[in-house]
Amino acid sequence: MKIEARIGREILILETGKMAKEANGAVCVQYGGTVVLVAVVCSKKLREGIDFFPLMVEYQEKTYAAGKIPGGYFKREGRPTEKEILTARLIDRPIRPLFPKGFMNDVQIFAIVLSSDGQNNSDIPAVIGASCALAISNIPFPGPVGAVRVGIIDDKFIVNPTFEELGTSTLNLVAVGFKDRIIMLEAGANELSEEKMLEAIKFAQDYIRQTIELQEELQKKCGKQKLEPELKLVSRELYEKVKDLSLAELERLNSVPVKEKREEALEALTREVTEKIKAQDESVQELDIGKALTKVEKETIRSFIVGKKKRIDGRGFEDIRPITCEVGVLPRTHGSGLFTRGQTQSLSTTTLGTGQDEQRLDALEGERFKTFMLHYNFPPFSVGEVRPARGPGRREIGHGALAERALKPIIPSDESFPYTIRVVSDILESNGSSSMATVCAGTLSLMDAGVPIRKPVSGIALGLVKEGDDTAILTDIAGVEDHFGDMDFKVTGTDTGITALQMDLKIEGITIELIKRIMEQARPARSFILDKILEAIKSPRKDISEYAPKIVTITIDKDKIRNLIGPGGKVIKKIIQDTGAAIEVDDEGKVSIASDSEEAIKKALEAVKGITGELEIGTVFEGKITRLMNFGAFCELFPGKEGLIHVSELSDKFVKNAEDIVKVGDKVKVKLIKIDEMGRLNLSIKQAVE
């Protein structure tokens, strides 16, 4: 079964019944020349002993999809790339909250990129494919949902822009939702106004509706009847018992603002309630008691916020916790910043490197290089836990990508600041949005490192508690508000516009009107935090750290690149060896020279200029005598570049034989006194010491 419709400039094709027929549902999604197969499978029985929905989402990009063979020794795909992890999260985030509460069967969504045209991104087809495969399967899922990417080129919105178009677009927005509500947003923008961002979301809603209608058509034609799932819910009887035993204490805890004291009291209450209920009925599972207590706690907190218009820590809905900003906190890093907001703290460091430190990405759409990277780490001590230290998880990759997207628009161009920049955020304490703390700390460390960023960036996270017609929007959400609330809305930007936005919900979507209210509440909060950053450091430092490499760039004639490189790289390698500087040259003739030593840079710069014909009369060099003749001596200034010192220029006294003054191998200071019409160099020892 195959159906199709035009979405933007390309045809969106949904096909099922040909591949992966053992799965509960499988759909091939094609957009342009990009094809993604998505299969969904559900276990027949629920999993016992857990208190979470066991959903697994995998997304894989096969290199054969782009006509490539994997690199490396094994010649097959290895661990997931950052793009694969972020796309798996993109599928997971809007779909996970839509499954029935208490549904504990294992569900796996598996997306494989089968074909890539190098133009159309496979992530939007993967989200649509996951929704459609679930919709036509027998798995209980209230979808389908639609997805679309929106860009802006020449101040006009475009649907599902290509990779090339995204390079010049001032917006990269991914929106997922139902026909009249938005479930998830993810955006990077070049200081876009709130008004323009809302217009983009409204624009996206129409195309979301179109992708849903296409899925509904396929669902009507071949959708399976949905299973009646066994839901693992807390029994009403147990819920009432737990509520009777805990409500008074939980209401008291709503007035305990300190996180640690609240958690200690909650642990004590959990033990007390468990002991009393187990004494009455030994067969009751502790896991079920815990779930019932969590349900009562959630209802109590939400009722407290919506009903009494108060927050657990005593703040008003728009209040921000105390903020401190520091720079230069570490002595040997190139730049450092410490941002603390309440009980959330990020230590950010900036390291400056050369072109050799660029990150090479071998993606399906082609090889590319990154000169700005942001890495986020979340050690267990930040939340008072003990667990093994492994590599970065999906959450850490996702938070780092969000913060990188937030800061990227203000990073200077390679032409104006020819450094590779790496920012690392280590979360030292966490009770509330650590990704937004990372953005603020990253801004501090970049400015401390002397990176000439265009403007500082701040970020804030907002929450939502929605009970019927009552809605509470919470600025600067704490951990408990995030856990029991309905939304995590993060927005970053400068004083003129938004640079990144991310919204995740636990409910089935919100209207664009509500999104507008949330964004309006976020704007003054961003400005307040921005002022705090500027109090710590008003502008980027004028000079980079003494410990950072110095880089000088010049542009040479492209026809002379071969002269600088030399046969087999002989010439450029010799300059690097002699000067100790790192030298890189690109296909356009841009030459970058880097070193910790200014003297090394000066020598390397002179060598490059000499070899490429950019020498200036009157410059003094240190050269090496290579040959002696009756009429003078030849002196090598740089690899492959020699000049003649006539006997009359060897000394201010009469010289009969050159060997009376110099010998082969001697290092001498010489001055360039003439370049003849054939490009030959005339040098002088005599004038170099005058």
Average pLDDT over residues 339-353: 97
Q: What b/e string do you get for 200-223 counting C-beta neighbours within 10 Å, with b at 16 or more?
A: bbbbbbebbbbbbebbbebbeeeb
Q: Rounded mean pLDDT of 342-369?
A: 90
Confidence of residue 562 (pLDDT cuts 50, 70, 90): confident
Task: Rank 356-365, 402-411, 680-689 by mean pLDDT and report only the highest.
Answer: 402-411
Q: CA angle at residue 689 from 687 to 690, to 5 degrees?
A: 65
- pLDDT of residue 690 exceeding 70, the answer is no
More confident of the two residues 23 and 622? 23
Average pLDDT, the chain: 93
Q: What is residue 571's predicted lDDT score, i.e. its pLDDT?
A: 87
Q: According to CATH, what is the number of the domain 2-222?
A: 3.30.230.70
One CATH from 1.10.10.400, 2.40.50.140, 3.30.470.30, 3.40.50.1170 for 236-308: 1.10.10.400
Q: Report residue 610's pLDDT band, with 50, 70 and 90 as the boundaries.
A: confident
Which of 308-312, 571-575, 613-617 bottoms out in mean pLDDT, i.e. has the lowest?
A: 613-617
Q: How many helices (H) and strands (E) does the chain have?
A: 14, 29
How many CB atoms lie under 10 A from the CB of residue 529?
A: 27
Residue-wise pLDDT for 177-190, tens only, equals: 999 999 999 999 99
How much is the pLDDT for 318? 96
- Which tens digits make up the pLDDT trace of 179-222? 999 999 999 999 999 999 999 999 999 999 999 999 999 999 99
Same fold, 549-613 and 615-690: no
pLDDT at 227 over 70: yes
Identify whether the C-beta of residue 368 lies closer than 8 Å to the C-beta of residue 417.
Answer: no
Phi and psi at residue 318, to the nearest 5°: -110, 5
Name the CATH superfamily for 323-536. GHMP Kinase, N-terminal domain (3.30.230.70)
- Contact between 453 and 372 (Cβ < 8 Å): no
Place 376 in a pLDDT band, splitting at 50, 70 and 90.
very high
pLDDT recorded at residue 568: 86
3-state secondary structure (DSSP) of residue 495? coil
Per-residue tokens: 381: 């001590």
Check whether domain 615-690 has CATH 2.40.50.140, yes or no: yes
Q: d(Cα 281, Cα 199) in Å, to the nearest integer?
A: 58
Check: CATH 3.30.559.10 for 549-613? no
pLDDT in tens, 528-552: 999 999 999 999 999 999 999 999 8
Q: CA torsion 469→473→479→480, rounded to 10°?
A: -30
**Residue 231: its pLDDT value, please?**
92
What is the edge-to-edge ordering of all strands in the sheet holding 323-327? 323-327, 335-341, 344-353, 420-429, 372-377
Q: Minimal CA–CA distance to 302: which of 250, 259, 342?
A: 250
Sorted by where each begins, the domain ranges of the chain are: 2-222, 236-308, 323-536, 549-613, 615-690
Distances (CA, A) of 174 to 188, 202, 207, 625: 9, 12, 11, 65
Indicate the length of the chain as a whole number. Answer: 690
What does residue 187 show for φ and ψ, rounded to 5 degrees?
-145, 145
The pTM score is 0.89
Task: Place 415 in a pLDDT band, splitting at 50, 70 and 90.
Answer: confident
> Would you place residue 308 in the very low, low, confident or very high pLDDT band (cuts 50, 70, 90)?
confident
